[in-house]
């Protein structure tokens, strides 16, 4: 699997605010441990939320993490298309293109 290329702005903020990034990363781990939802499902939920707020970077991240946690590509796409009646087809279409960035253009290729 190819290593994810982070946006320049993200990398710069991460470098500048190291303690904040450690805390945010730890928060995600703690929140996932607080309940009965498994890691794969939690990333599919976060993927759906990322699509709903039109966050391309978060869609990339959670699509990748969901697959790493055992989600099939069909499950990843289904998590997005389930949102059609909630967030609308144009937003779903954009999110599918961002999932394609990860799943079809080699980032998750074997």
Share of the chain above pLDDT 70, in %: 90
> How many structural domains comprise the chain?
1
Which DSSP symbol is given to 109?
Answer: -
| Mean of the per-residue pLDDT values of the chain | 90
> What CATH number is given to the structural domain containing 65?
1.20.1290.10
Cα separation, 66 vs 49, whole angstroms: 13
Q: Domain of 24?
A: 8-103
Residue 50's nearest CA partner among 14, 90, 91 is 91
User: For helices 89-103 and 56-68, what crossing angle results, to 10°?
Assistant: 50
What would the pLDDT profile of 32-65 be if each residue is shown by its tens digit? 889 999 999 999 999 999 999 999 999 999 999 9
Higher pLDDT, 81 or 104: 81
* Residue 64 resides in a domain: yes
- pTM score of the predicted model: 0.83
pLDDT score at 25: 84
Cα separation, 101 vs 107, whole angstroms: 7
User: For helices 89-103 and 39-52, what crossing angle results, to 10°?
Assistant: 130
């Amino acid at each position: 699997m190819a290593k994810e290329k982070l946006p320049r702005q993200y990398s710069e903020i991460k470098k500048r605010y190291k303690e904040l990034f450690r805390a945010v990363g730890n928060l995600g781990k703690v929140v996932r441990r607080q309940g009965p939802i498994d890691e794969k499902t939690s990333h599919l939920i976060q993927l759906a939320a990322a699509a709903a707020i039109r966050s391309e970077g978060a869609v990339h991240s959670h699509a990748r993490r969901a697959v790493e946690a055992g989600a099939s590509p069909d499950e990843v796409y289904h998590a997005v298309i389930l949102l059609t009646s909630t967030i609308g087809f144009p937003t779903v279409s954009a999110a599918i293109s961002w999932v394609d960035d990860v799943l079809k253009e080699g980032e998750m290729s074997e």
